[in-house]
Structure 1
């Protein structure tokens, strides 16, 4: 049955009417329907029904995970409302842009839900942590949660957005639309997590402390043991990861690109049974068309041209993917035999041009009009292929066009039809996705390098995420699963989501390392802080994608299962390899650098930084605590014990001593001066120190200086030498003052 209407709904109605008429005319025969237009129509209906089931199912699953994580109604409702708002915003914008659902964009709803879930999980988890540890109001804990998570969330949002924006460069409309809708989903998820979620938390009553033994109490204990393992076995973890990376890359090289048309629907579905039955009984259920053009009008009314057309059919039928062909030459042979009394010997192209004209005239019909145009210059050959693989059909089409390009055959033409177009599109999509994945990786590398102010740190931070993608691709290669339109998207999705947890851990470790100085406590505190949101986020993402396994479309089932597998691997990598890498390198983020103001020529104007390079001075400054104190602030009193070294980087302060009941200014200090070095090394000195105006300063404790000496011995040696010089000059200044007083 052929329909001229290109509208899928009209085509579906037309095929349904044809089936109904066939059944009415032949009630004793079975009627089976297949073909790509019919498959596309059924696929559209199935996508809509699947979406109506998947979104509520995914929302319910994520709500259950939220309850497991927080055990409070607000811990479920606030993220759930934010997630659904993000989904609504995404589809409202998509509808405004005129996008519709297809086999690729139908993946957007679960993707947006899981992204918004992941972002909101970090905010709500930090909210509960602050409320529990500090016993503060809901408004204050919501503000604190936002302050603690906004930078990592912005970075992860930017990196995820970069990954999906790379897809918009695709020449395939479905992939480009997926990239646009996914990018809108990322932006909507960020707004929901950074604006809507904290606002809802702030207006609700302060949360109560969770009972001991709840998951959020058990997970930190597990994180403590795991951090010990990660720290003490970091070299073995990194080495093992590199070996896995190499093995996964080798397995990924075995991936085949393509799609199996016969495996789109469930094995027990009627449409799949009809497809296989017709594919077997009719020598192929996958048709496509070959348009052949001769050199002049009326050419295909000539016996010689029809014989060349017949030779082309014989060559086509010799191809392993072809089950049969039909052309105008077949009509002429059948008519010739019929007019010759059904003589088998007459089943051939007549030698007379006049006879051919007469046969085509008497045998004219609508079917013949589909095979031969009125001018008889163009003829169509309908080809039935029993191949179900898009790669095989695309290869067949290329061989046919190469055959026609040979002038020896005397024919020109091209291959057409929705089947060939779809097969070539799938090939282009899959190859394009690999390029998009590489582009997304490059963009994320640039963002991470900028964030950590180092190309080396960009590589280190990217390594866990590249490992996850290669593990996924390696599984495809080992399992023999082809890389098709849907499976090729998982790499970008896994990369975009996995970088979220990596950035959160590195950011937390960086903050804790500056406070703890030593790496072991920082590793433990950072992993304890992120283990709950990372674990429950991963659980929710895996279960959310697993809801796709209940779809009637096998590509979605495959997508859901493989995405869950990739994200489970991402969790394992993020709690083992990421901490091992973090405690093996020095982390300095862009936010640290932007927030660092040492003024002009710090190595020349600040004696403590003498003979240091600007980079070394920044390293020292970033290991200390940066503080700004307003005018009139008493930094310490003479009676206070002091274990802090203060370096003035801007402003002025005064030192006072009590003498005969009066407060006497000993010295006025400014940029580059050091306070507390004597007390730090030689014991207490009875001096009061106050700021004369706003003062910027760096504070170093004995633990900080010792940590600097261990981690950067050369820099530490220069700092201790400069401290000796500062101490010597200060002693000389004090002796001169005492002499003048006498």
Structure 2
């Protein structure tokens, strides 16, 4: 095995010479493929940001939602809550403002586009607008059921009349909290949209096809209407409609137009927008912010690499290598018709992290030789001989870790796993093939670089030190003020901290790396005890972690969505809608008393048992009971479901004649399908999952007696909220299973690479602690794991494993050469320790920048990811050497091997 490892080291040492010798052919091939990848990115990239994309389109949850959309349209609505500036939504000024806004949204085509800074055509997505000024209440006039406006066409100015409207409105239980609050301070518009319910452009419905037309016999009806017998074909197959996916930009453009229109009445009303469209618009803006944060991360990488290596070529070629890895990965993925999702951000982060680590390890080994006076070819060959094997193994382990995600049931997670594995391989490929050629074209000089005139080049720090003290302070203060104006105080302090940390590391790196072996040699058991406490605390904290994704809590406390959800939950019926789809399977099934009684019983039971989750419910049963009471002189005793199907059909005929639009929103034309709408307060995914399970049990109990009479009946909980909770639960389950699988595969690879079960297990421990610490800290701080933070595990493991493998492979190769554990460890810490320190700084400080994101999911990834990366550094520099000293693995080597000796803390000299 030793000979094979040395042979691999020689192979990697020869690789730079081979690719440089054939650089013209290699560059031509790489350029051609890169052009193809860029073309593929620009022409074939398809993004699906919807929650639907997380489940297979054949999943029962998707099927149920599509059935609901086919019948009742999209459940993607905007709950536009407003607060009356005069404190009363029933005042004349408030009612006039609401009516103006309602009519503007209904008749947006009549608005002058020149008066708005948004594309009003986007409002074409609105299919229905409801507000307090469109609501109707029923009353009977003789035998005629009338549906009158709650607010008359001419809004009165008389306080008595306005008070009458207020009292009448507050008496309507079905409207209260949905369109106005109990105290009359808040009101709401409900905007139903077509998002998610628009058929694909290629879809042609059969009844609208060119070859379908009504026959002439439809005009031959007699004057007697009874001669027309309309019936429905029960054997007809319902046409399944393929719906378009909604791009996040569509939500953003729509909401921008909506905001532009309601700005006309903001002098009288203050708005709080809840629902999926405004939330997705906010997410779109956050993604735009992520672009700037990404550029900031690149800026930090460039600054740190330049500061650490004092070479622009080292920085430039590292960035080019990583950029091409991303381009090839993206281009090849979309070429095969794969749709990308929000997981793309995490994929880019992982590839960038692994690519940076590969380049830093190569550059660090390269500069060690350059400092010793070696020329460029010798230093480059040495760098690849030292790091090539480790980079190959880290590539395999990281690929194994992310490929474990391809076992997930969620399509975007599988794409993330496969795409990340491809990207990690590309980073290895370009580091091995392209980086040597680029460095041959423009390679770093000696550490003491000189100017063209032959004098030593001065660094920025040296130039600052040469300035007078007051000039230096004025320059720094001016720069700080400028940064505060451009960025923020927090970001400015962070940048200053980066500069301070970098200067400290550059000044004391040698002393730090020399101190680590002596500290470990003198206090191995103390170090092991400290990390054992950290490990046990992390395990306990991990056991306390709860998986819970709350939409509102993924935003900052001052963000627009958080404020809106808090207002809606406190004063109105809640921003979340849950639909219960009822398909009886026969025409007129929803007119049967036993069916409507079951619907009514379910609503009553849900309202009583879940008051903290469900604020109100609305269904066809509400309409039948209300109409029955109105038609019986408003007698409260008739607020019930009649016992006769004939009576119910007559009541629904009357209601349909008075308010056909409302009827169609509740039941299909053949009365075979209907829905119950539940208004829910915002809650976490765990609470929702428990509620959905209990709700399903309630449905089974109540509707079970009906299956004998209606064997084809289906009752399904559906809508965007249940779908989102289902996807979040799937993400949680897939992450745990894939994490364990990845850990097992990585362990096997490390055991085989290191040639020893003992050494392989020792190497796994430093990789477990960072990930466990990240999750354990969240458990101890009572921070729930959400769909974003669950995904930091592969990133943390990938980075931690990289540094550990570099450490262990270098140690083993040195042990083969020297046959001396102490010398092997000293050499490893001296050469690999520097690279590990540099990669930790670059990646840890870069990741920490994400903590400034307005999206808390990404901010937590940044904060806990950075913490894990820095802890991984301590594991590699302190824990791993302590484990090696304690267990003294021989890596399968035979013969005599010198052991560890005590190291004096003063100068690092070895004593027998």
Give the Cα separation in 2 of the matches to 1:360 and 1:404: 24
1:417 counterpart residue number:
719
Max radius of gyration: which structure? 1
Residue segments in structure 2 that go unaligned for 5+ positions in a row: 1-190, 197-244, 450-461, 463-502, 707-713, 902-912
Superposition deviation, residue 161 in structure 1 = 0.9
Give the Cα separation in 2 of the matches to 1:18 and 1:79: 45
1:193 counterpart residue number:
431
2:592 counterpart residue number:
302
TM-score, length basis structure 1: 0.75
Superposition deviation, residue 545 in structure 1 = 1.2
Deviation per residue, 1:63-82 (Å, 9 max, x gap): 11112211222232222222
1:89 counterpart residue number:
328
1:78–1:32 CA distance, 2 compared to 1 (3 A) = same
Give the Cα separation in 2 of the matches to 1:28 and 1:350: 45
Any idea what SS the aligned residue of 2:274 has?
Answer: coil
1:235 is the counterpart of 2:537: no
1:564 counterpart residue number:
866
Superposition deviation, residue 408 in structure 1 = 6.5
1:619 is the counterpart of 2:858: no
> Which piece of structure 1 moves more, 279-288 or 434-443?
279-288
1:588–1:50 CA distance, 2 compared to 1 (3 A) = farther
The answer (yes or no) to whether the contact 1:105–1:174 under 8 Å persists in 2 is no
Structure with larger RCO (C-alpha < 8 A, sep 6+): 2
Residue segments in structure 1 that go unaligned for 5+ positions in a row: 590-614, 624-703, 711-742
The answer (yes or no) to whether the contact 1:534–1:571 under 8 Å persists in 2 is yes
Aligned runs of 1:218-617 on 2, under 5 Å? 218-294=508-584, 296-318=586-608, 319=610, 320-340=612-632, 342=634, 344-364=636-656, 365-406=660-701, 410=705, 413-587=715-889
1:279–1:19 CA distance, 2 compared to 1 (3 A) = farther
1:33–1:344 CA distance, 2 compared to 1 (3 A) = farther
Superposition deviation, residue 22 in structure 1 = 6.4
Picking from 360, 366, 382, the partner of 1:144 is: 382
Superposition deviation, residue 507 in structure 1 = 1.8
1:652 counterpart residue number:
none
The answer (yes or no) to whether the contact 1:219–1:531 under 8 Å persists in 2 is no
Any idea what SS the aligned residue of 1:136 has?
Answer: coil
Superposition deviation, residue 433 in structure 1 = 0.2
Give the Cα separation in 2 of the matches to 1:206 and 1:182: 31
The answer (yes or no) to whether the contact 2:255–2:281 under 8 Å persists in 1 is no
2:34 counterpart residue number:
none
Superposition deviation, residue 174 in structure 1 = 2.0
TM-score, length basis structure 2: 0.62
1:117–1:263 CA distance, 2 compared to 1 (3 A) = same
1:308–1:206 CA distance, 2 compared to 1 (3 A) = closer
Any idea what SS the aligned residue of 2:548 has?
Answer: coil
Any idea what SS the aligned residue of 1:55 has?
Answer: helix
The answer (yes or no) to whether the contact 1:231–1:520 under 8 Å persists in 2 is no
Any idea what SS the aligned residue of 1:481 has?
Answer: coil
2:407 counterpart residue number:
169
1:33 counterpart residue number:
273
Give the Cα separation in 1 of the matches to 2:341 and 2:687: 24
2:341 counterpart residue number:
102
Give the Cα separation in 1 of the matches to 2:574 and 2:702: 29
Superposition deviation, residue 497 in structure 1 = 1.0
Superposition deviation, residue 312 in structure 1 = 0.5
1:3 is the counterpart of 2:193: yes
The answer (yes or no) to whether the contact 1:501–1:574 under 8 Å persists in 2 is yes
Give the Cα separation in 2 of the matches to 1:15 and 1:124: 49
Give the Cα separation in 2 of the matches to 1:83 and 1:74: 14
The answer (yes or no) to whether the contact 1:238–1:580 under 8 Å persists in 2 is yes
1:8–1:33 CA distance, 2 compared to 1 (3 A) = farther
1:119 counterpart residue number:
358
Aligned runs of 1:625-664 on 2, under 5 Å? none
Give the Cα separation in 2 of the matches to 1:254 and 1:276: 27
2:307 counterpart residue number:
68
The answer (yes or no) to whether the contact 1:335–1:359 under 8 Å persists in 2 is yes
Give the Cα separation in 1 of the matches to 2:766 and 2:633: 77
Any idea what SS the aligned residue of 2:886 has?
Answer: coil
Superposition deviation, residue 246 in structure 1 = 2.4
Any idea what SS the aligned residue of 2:665 has?
Answer: helix
The answer (yes or no) to whether the contact 2:847–2:865 under 8 Å persists in 1 is yes
Deviation per residue, 1:224-251 (Å, 9 max, x gap): 1111111232233234333432232122
2:472 counterpart residue number:
none
Superposition deviation, residue 314 in structure 1 = 0.9
The answer (yes or no) to whether the contact 2:758–2:889 under 8 Å persists in 1 is no
The answer (yes or no) to whether the contact 1:15–1:38 under 8 Å persists in 2 is yes
1:283–1:206 CA distance, 2 compared to 1 (3 A) = closer
Any idea what SS the aligned residue of 1:379 has?
Answer: strand
Any idea what SS the aligned residue of 1:288 has?
Answer: strand
Q: How many residues align?
A: 597
State the Cα RMSD in Å: 2.8
1:423–1:202 CA distance, 2 compared to 1 (3 A) = same
